[in-house]
Amino acid sequence: INISDCRSIPTMIDLNLCQDSGSLKKELEFRKIKFSELVEKMIDASVFPGSGSTKCAIISVADLGFPDGGSYSEVCKKVIESEKQYCPPLFGPQFRLRYPHQPKGDHLLVLMEPIIVSGGHPGIFSIQNIKGTLWLGWQNGSADYFCKSGFKFIVQISSPVL
């Protein structure tokens, strides 16, 4: 399947909203966005890009050619083969801040290099609305983690513009 033919929602995201982990966490709290200690550690472990923006699209695992689902590594490989890219590490928190009207029950995953935090668990960011509460979450980013066909990933379709 050619990912460029798949249904996607392009979005331009400014990567320059917050310049450090402290200001990013304060902004999330100010906007009443929930996040766990594990997500806080992921934010602290991330490198801030300085400035720039990137274009992204939202695409399902089924749209990638996996009608029965596939492993996170298979999903990543398919995205890279289609000349799309991983999102930068801080894309997830920046996207969360810019998506305040996410529908209830919606759950998006950020396709990214997993961030290893305490305990050695690889994680990726998730963007969720759970019963009307906005969350920046942690999702298993292990290579063998099974992704159901309905999982939706945010993928980068252009390199960050500085």
Higher pLDDT, residue 21 or 50: 21
- Judged against a pLDDT cut of 80, whether residue 15 lies above it is answered with no
φ, ψ at 16 (rounded to 5°): -110, 15
Three-state DSSP string of 14-73: ECCCCCCHHHHHHHHHHCCCECCHHHHHHHHHCCCCCCCEEEEEEEECCCCCCCCCEEHH
- Judged against a pLDDT cut of 60, whether residue 13 lies above it is answered with yes
- Judged against a pLDDT cut of 90, whether residue 30 lies above it is answered with yes
* Span 76-121, pLDDT tens digits: 999 988 878 888 888 889 889 888 888 999 999 999 999 998 778 8
- Judged against a pLDDT cut of 60, whether residue 4 lies above it is answered with no
User: In Å, how far from its chain's centre is CA 96?
Assistant: 9
Give helix then strand counts, H and E, for the chain.
4, 9
Q: Strand, helix or coil at 117?
A: strand
